[in-house]
Chain A
Amino acid sequence: MKLSEAFKRRPLLIAYICAGDPSPESTPEIVELLARAGADVVELGLPHSDPIADGPVIQAAAQRAIEAGMNTNVYFEMASRIRADLPLVFMGYYNMIYQRGLDKFAGDCANSGITGLIVPDLPPEEAGPLREACEKAEVDLIYLVAPNTPAERIPIIAESSSGFLYLVARAGVTGTRSEVLLSTKALIERVKADLPKAVGFGISTPEQAAEVIRAGADAAIVGSACVDLISKGDLEGLENLIRGMKLAIREVKPIEAVARI
């Protein structure tokens, strides 16, 4: 499924997991569980040795996954085995893409059912070549906007992005947080874009997810909270979390077919 298709039924819940944690075999099942519990999109993280945008929870997961045998080849094989009917999005660092070759990487995404890429260490200034490769392969390249992104930069990022726009809820790295910051709400208001806005970094509870949707986001992204539960082997907890989040965001806005897009 394409992202544009998925975003016709907002608000969405997007779940991030680290592919290959705890083992490469476990990931397809976890994705299917997420889909069953109500996730609308799954971000499949490719673990990197040096994840500079990630906090301790995802760093540790990446390290475990690499030790369990995760690499880019295994990643694409695994992705093509996932049978859930939802868009899969790649999330990972640029060097991993660069080493495989930009065209090959984008093509492998398209061939294994991945419809978009999020590359947290690739600002639009450096993304020209990958953007070209993604256009050729017909996959989306999703950019990030941060709370400290200046006003004049937002339109530049919004225009380069496709699929959706990733709003980083807080300065710093991924991880869980106890509250949704005022700056997050301000950011949602500040960003004027035709693309759907998905808010991530620090969202770990149904209340927080509901809050960002109430503030005008089209999707809530939950990452570290999922990864944390997976690391504890608590798949039941994971299923409950996703169910709870989905319920909470639906209460904010009933599902409606959105005409714009």
Chain B
Amino acid sequence: MKITTTSNTRFGRYGGQFVPETLMQPLKELAEAYAHLKEDPQFMRELSGLLADYAGRPTPLYHARSLSRELSRKVYLKREDLVHGGAHKLNNVLGQGLVAKEMGKTRLIAETGAGQHGVAAAMVGANLGLETEVYMGEVDIERQKMNVYRMELLGAKVIPVKSGSRTLKDSINEALRDWAASYENTHYLMGTVAGAHPYPLMVRELQSVIGTEAREQILAAEGRLPDSVVACVGGGSNAMGIFSGFLADETKLIAVEAGGRGTSSDEKIADHGACLNLGEEGVLHGAMTKILQDPYGQILESYSVAAGLDYPGVGPELAHLAEIGRVTPAIADDETALEGFRRLSILEGIIPALESSHAVGYALRNPDALGDLAIINLSGRGDKDLTTVMEQERRRRR
């Protein structure tokens, strides 16, 4: 399997830089700085040091015995839930934070939906001594009060976004608007493999540590490559991170998207976040990719019980890999995810993030898709989701 790139900003037909002229120069400077720094041994040593001692890498590849027994095959979990902060988000943020510092930036801005990426950005801002401001939709601020408080404890400022649907996509719009005016001292720390070049490439490379470790670990443990790797997809950073270790292999790569409460859409809101499965080609946040939109090209709001999967776009590289058949898109709805959440807690004593629970739930309901040996990317831990799950249970009892 070869990944074809028509030009260096694209993945096949997807990607590119569909941005206002004011953002072309900031993107160019970022792409050049990053391309230079990733070849700089001293920079990479510093990043590896932080990944080891601050983030806690490498994360274990854990043989989930009870889950394996239940599914009648061997299943491993890649434990990104053990990364500092409780999710894979920090891998990306540490790398971009260091790039920002090397570029002489003094301020970080970030978007956040559930607050996980915002919290990771705030941690790195504190750690590297960079002023940090996080755009967060008013609706999300109300839903995620704990994470707002965490960000504030870490010294970041949370800026409420009042425009549009007041959720994640609007926070990205607002961060892009800020960056167009502030880039001389500010780095825009994007949280996933979406957006204009170089973000999809850079974030995938910074997350590829997951796949590199997992490949070595499974070879050491099993003496062979897995039949499948399963990961949930919001924008696609944890999925691209782990998939990138196996792209050149025969391993089946399963991208599980949020099925939400169904596959339909009304005028403004889709009931899901499944862009690879149900989206159409279009431009969102600077990239040509698969998006949720109405027939005129207005972007729809997405929905998922997992805030981190609640995004009406997907990374352009995933759109490309799905199109050429290298990645297999799949769907897990809210109920499947909640089942994954509960079953993994009981079976393994691990409470997964609701996002990761989509991958777990998919595996529970589709064991035959996994082959004999599978890795599930456990992208985060579920502590942040306890109130959401409690509410879901209360609602169900009523």
Contacts and interface: CB of A to CB of B under 8 A. Distances in A.
Interface of A: 48-53, 55-56, 59-60, 63, 66, 71-73, 93-100, 120-123, 125-126, 143-150, 153, 157, 168, 170-173
Nearest to A172: B181
B284 interface: yes
Interface stretch (B20-28, B30-38, B328-336, B376-384): B20-28
A224 B25 CA distance: 25
Given A121-B283, A123-B21, A157-B21, 6 more contacts: A50-B170, A50-B173, A59-B164, A98-B282, A146-B21, A146-B22
A48 B296 CA distance: 9
A116 B22 CA distance: 21
B176 interface: yes
Interface in B7-23: 9, 16-22
Given A95-B284, A121-B286, A173 B163 contact: no
Contact of B25 (A71, A122, A148): A148
B296 A99 contact: yes
B346 to A, nearest CB: 41
A96 B24 contact: no
Contact of B299 (A49, A53, A60, A149): A49
State which size class the interface on B falls in: 20 to 34
A27 B366 CA distance: 54
Contacts of A97: 297
A95 B293 contact: yes
Contacts of A147: 22
B180 interface: yes
Contacts of A63: 163-164
B5 interface: no
Contacts of A170: 181
Interface centre among A71, A125, A148, A157 (most CB of B within 10 A): A148
B21 A94 contact: no
Interface of B: 9, 16-22, 24-26, 163-164, 169-170, 173, 176-177, 180-181, 183, 281-286, 291, 293, 295-299
20 contacts: A48-B298, A49-B164, A50-B164, A53-B177, A55-B177, A63-B164, A71-B298, A98-B283, A98-B297, A99-B293, A122-B18, A123-B19, A123-B20, A144-B21, A146-B20, A146-B21, A149-B24, A157-B21, A171-B183, A172-B22
B21 A168 contact: yes
Nearest to A97: B297
A24 to B, nearest CB: 14
A143 B21 CA distance: 9
Contact of A171 (B16, B170, B180): B180
A145 B21 contact: yes
A153 to B, nearest CB: 8
A56 B24 CA distance: 22
A123 B17 contact: yes
Nearest to A153: B24
A173 B177 contact: yes
A171 B178 CA distance: 10
A122 B9 CA distance: 14
A7 to B, nearest CB: 21
A121 B20 contact: yes
A49 B25 contact: no
